Chains A and B, each alone.
Chain A
């Protein structure tokens, strides 16, 4: 699953730690989601979309093969 977390984070000048604090997870969790090593749960995906004031579809996108 692809995501735009890094771009959205950079636009707001937030660190992974800051984003993690905003959604209640660790920096490592944000890093794992951002690098595509871990797919977040639906509640976490919704929280991420909410802190960026956008929709889940605008943050996450299925890979072509998925």
Chain B
């Protein structure tokens, strides 16, 4: 990664912590807004918007990180993201089929955000590994 000025690094660090905190807190708020069977339609829709809105700062942080990279690391990250997209698709398809095949209970839910982050990191790791080994 190229060297970035300290004030930009501090902003990135601050945004990372704030966005992770917001992501974490929004999960609890969404549960509170949507879990009850007596919650009104409006509050349930609010839960949906909070769930989506809570992820936006995190996605903004990732976009900012990518924009701060040099072209080599950006290339590796974007290839890794494409690999992760395929991995995520395969993970969801296999999980759904496992539920259909009664290998996994219907009451089990895939934790979307942790799974997405883990698959994304694996994708970037695979991409970095590929470009390191490539002859």
- Are B70's CB and A24's CB within 8 A? yes
A contacts with B, residue count (CB < 8 A): 14
A64 within 8 A of B: no
A9 CB to closest chain B CB (Å) equals: 17
Known contacts A26-B1, A28-B1, then 17 further A-B pairs from the complex at CB < 8 Å, ordered by chain A residue: A24-B2, A24-B70, A25-B2, A25-B71, A26-B3, A26-B72, A28-B72, A29-B70, A29-B73, A32-B72, A32-B131, A33-B72, A37-B131, A37-B135, A38-B72, A41-B71, A44-B71
B109 within 8 A of A: no
- Are B75's CB and A38's CB within 8 A? yes
Residues of chain B at the chain A interface (Cβ within 8 Å) = 1-3, 70-73, 75, 131-132, 134-135
Residues of chain A at the chain B interface (Cβ within 8 Å) = 20-21, 24-26, 28-29, 32-33, 37-38, 40-41, 44
B26 CB to closest chain A CB (Å) equals: 34
A41 to B72, CA, bound (A): 9
A60 CB to closest chain B CB (Å) equals: 15
Give the top 6 A-B pairs by smallest Cβ distance, nearest first. A29-B72, A25-B70, A37-B134, A29-B70, A26-B2, A32-B72
Which residues of chain B have C-beta atoms less than 8 A from A38's C-beta?
72, 75, 131
